[in-house]
Structure 1
Amino acid sequence: MKAPSSLEQLIQALKVLPGVGPKSASRMAYHLLQRDQGGAANLAHAIEYAIATLKHCRRCNTFTEGELCEICADEDRNHQQLCVVEMPTDLLMIEQTLAYHGLYFVLMGRLSPLDGIGPNEIALARLLERAVDGEVQEVVIATNFTVEGEATAHYLAELMRTRGLQVSRIARGLPVGGELEHVDPGTLAQALVERRKL
């Protein structure tokens, strides 16, 4: 027996979420319809509202409800530093550290030629325009330490250096409170390479 078309449509819609396969999507759909119809209605409303309300900040490309996000509108931030991250969630993580007081640019992705993601798909033109605005002096590259993130960092570093900007990359190393015996060899090797004098 086939599921009703409206149920199948809901399952297909849930499958667009990262990490959600057919079985998980099916379980979610049945849960929402059978046990939490109020939650399902709230979810649908929240998604519609977010789509209708959110847009990209005209300076940093993160999501915002206004022309500028709170960070870009904050005059107390260091306007000479521009931290480049892959996603808005990365921006939020850096903000939680309270260690960085500059501005940001969110790529909304990373270079991945095998997936068809090139410079045009990650707002590179907007980043270059932002980086050479006359205020920015240092570009801090904070892409992830994946193959794609490293390739993106290298590509961005070359572009920024040719435009006379100082470029830095966030460091890799051991987690705070971590023990050496539990660290993977790649992280330990990078920590040794990036060691600093005390």
Structure 2
Amino acid sequence: MASRDIEALTQILARLPGLGPRSARRVVLHLLKKRETALAPLLAALADVEARLVTCGVCGNVDTSDPCGICADSRRDPSLLCVVEEVADLWALDGKRLFAGRFHVLGGRLSALDGVGPEDLSVDALVARVRRDGFAEVVLAMNATLEGQTTMHYLAERLADSGARVTMLAHGLPVGGELDYMDEGTLALALRARRPVA
């Protein structure tokens, strides 16, 4: 049996996404066995990030500087803005270097069931930013959920008179996907978005 302190650490780690109780226990055991090479550097890195962590005042990203590294990067295309629901979505798109423009994090999505309205998200800041910075295109990169699509349509209405071209991510078949493994919604979207063979 582990001590109460070690069990408490295991329970805290088990609450992290992707870790259950058994995985958390394995992580704790690894950290304890490798105190000098794993535990000490992890504790130092966590303390450093915790002390310096800020939310970017421009886009809403989480970083150790304000403005964040993305907003401070002069190589990014200032005419393109990609709007995402959460920081994880920004990191997914930026981590693969798929989008060369700027980002804006809403902080969630509209959800009547959860009581999340436009005032709970950074919608007003987005509209003001698009008008102020004169983006040529705003890409609404919402998740393909009912709430995500509702949020996208609401944002499109709010940005209609901004002067920016408002676009959305394409939906359909993934590269390498096989038709018999696709759900009905994905197949329907792919059929509606069909285009000529080049």
- 1:1-198 → structure 2 map (5 Å cutoff): 4-33=3-32, 35-38=33-36, 39-95=38-94, 98=97, 100-161=99-160, 163=162, 165-198=164-197
CA RMSD of aligned residues (A): 2.8
Q: TM-score scaled by structure 2?
A: 0.80
C-alpha displacement of 1:43: 2.2
C-alpha displacement of 1:81: 2.0
Q: Output the CA distance in 1 between the equivalents of 2:117 and 2:43.
A: 32
Q: Which amino acid aligns with 1:56?
A: T
Q: Output the CA distance in 2 between the equivalents of 1:125 and 1:13.
A: 36
Q: Output the CA distance in 2 between the equivalents of 1:182 and 1:87.
A: 28
C-alpha displacement of 1:176: 1.9
Q: Output the CA distance in 1 between the equivalents of 2:92 and 2:105.
A: 13
Q: Output the CA distance in 2 between the equivalents of 1:177 and 1:61.
A: 34
SS for the counterpart of 1:132 is helix
**How far does the alpha carbon of each residue in 1:87-141 deviate from its partner, in whole angstroms, 9 at most, with x for none?**
3343343335655332111224333444454434433333233222142232210
Q: Output the CA distance in 1 between the equivalents of 2:82 and 2:168.
A: 9
Give the fraction of aligned pairs with identical amino acids, expressed as a percent. Answer: 43
- How many residue pairs were aligned? 196
Q: Which runs of 5+ in 2 are unaligned?
A: none
Q: Which runs of 5+ in 1 are unaligned?
A: none
Cα 1:17–1:114, aligned 2, differ >3 Å: closer, same or farther? farther
The answer to which of 185-194 and 68-77 deviates more is 68-77
Q: Output the CA distance in 1 between the equivalents of 2:98 and 2:28.
A: 41
SS for the counterpart of 2:108 is coil
